[in-house]
Amino acid sequence: AQSVTQLGSHVSVSEGALVLLRCNYSSSVPPYLFWYVQYPNQGLQLLLKYTSAATLVKGINGFEAEFKKSETSFHLTKPSAHMSDAAEYFCAVSASSSNTGKLIFGQGTTLQVKP
Amino acid sequence: EPEVTQTPSHQVTQMGQEVILRCVPISNHLYFYWYRQILGQKVEFLVSFYNNEISEKSEIFDDQFSVERPDGSNFTLKIRSTKLEDSAMYFCASIGGYNEQFFGPGTRLTVL
């Protein structure tokens, strides 16, 4: 069984500050991990994914995440927040061995960026 | 760039009515999914579909729900008798490589 926990349902940063959104996962098999972003009234857009290659993954819009197996974490970071980063962020896991590929999502973190 | 499309964008229905939500997945994808997101909550898996049959479904996906791929492009979710608690955003997705799922923009279902 798999699960995802996102620590902090709401994160507020100032424009230009570091963004850190936390995600911890639980998986009995090697996982694939994903971060999705959802802007208001829109669908889910893939930011980045980990698929057992490099542990530091770079995504779109300057975001990156590091897979740490020992900590079962996949935290999302961005060095400098921009006003346009304000959105809902979801961490998700799927089993690399899964033949269905279903995603299990975390509860989401709302990122607020203050001017 | 290919994308998943969904229609309608918003569906309002009366409790007890049947609704069909439509999706056109990316053309060369083989796995298809439905997820739902109740307002303010996380995205939940409903069902996956491969080779014209359900490959996995969640406990949410009860007898009131069904999925179909009626032709080579459309993928539909039917709710036979809607309940108030079915009000949610429904997302269709299809899979590319490495389980990377591409999501449609969603259909907001409102049950009155």
- Closest approach of A99 to chain B, Cα-based (Å): 8
Average predicted confidence (pLDDT) for chain B: 92
Token look-up 């990156």 returns A64
At B17-60, the pLDDT tens digits run 999 999 999 988 889 999 999 988 889 999 999 888 999 999 99
- Tell me how far apart the alpha carbons of residues A31 and B67 are, in angstroms, rounded to a whole number: 27
A100–B31 CB contact, under 8 Å: yes
Banded model confidence at residue B97, pLDDT cuts 50, 70, 90: low
Is the per-residue pLDDT at B96 higher than 80? no
Of A38, A100, A109, A101, the closest CA to residue A76 belongs to A109
Is A60's Cβ below 8 Å from some Cβ in B? Answer: no
State how far residue B80 is from chain A, nearest Cα, in angstroms.
24
Sequential pLDDT tens for chain A (115 residues): 789 999 999 999 999 999 999 999 998 888 889 999 999 878 899 999 998 778 899 999 999 999 999 999 999 999 999 999 999 999 999 876 666 688 999 999 999 999 9
| Per-residue pLDDT at B90 exceeds 70 | yes
Among B44, B48, B102, the residue with its CB nearest the CB of A100 is B48
Q: How far apart are CA A80 and CA A40, in angstroms?
A: 21
pLDDT tier for residue B63 given thresholds of 50, 70 and 90: very high
Contact present, A90 and A25 (Cβ < 8 Å): no
Contact (CB, 8 A) for A14 and A81: yes
Interface test mutation site (partner A, options B29, B43, B90, max chain A beta carbons within 10 A): B43
Reported as a pLDDT band with limits 50, 70 and 90, residue B101 is confident
Task: Give dist(CA B82, CA B72) in Å, integer.
Answer: 27
Strand pairing class (A10-14; A109-114): parallel
Task: Output the pLDDT for position A99.
Answer: 62
Q: What is the pLDDT of residue A108?
A: 95
C-alpha of A59 from chain center: 10
Which residue among A32, A103, A106 sits closest to B98, beta carbon to beta carbon?
Answer: A32
CA distance A110 to A88: 4
Given the DSSP bridges, would you call strands B107-111 and B10-13 parallel, antiparallel or unpaired?
A: parallel
Name residue B24's amino acid. Answer: V
Interface check A35 vs B, CB under 8 A: no
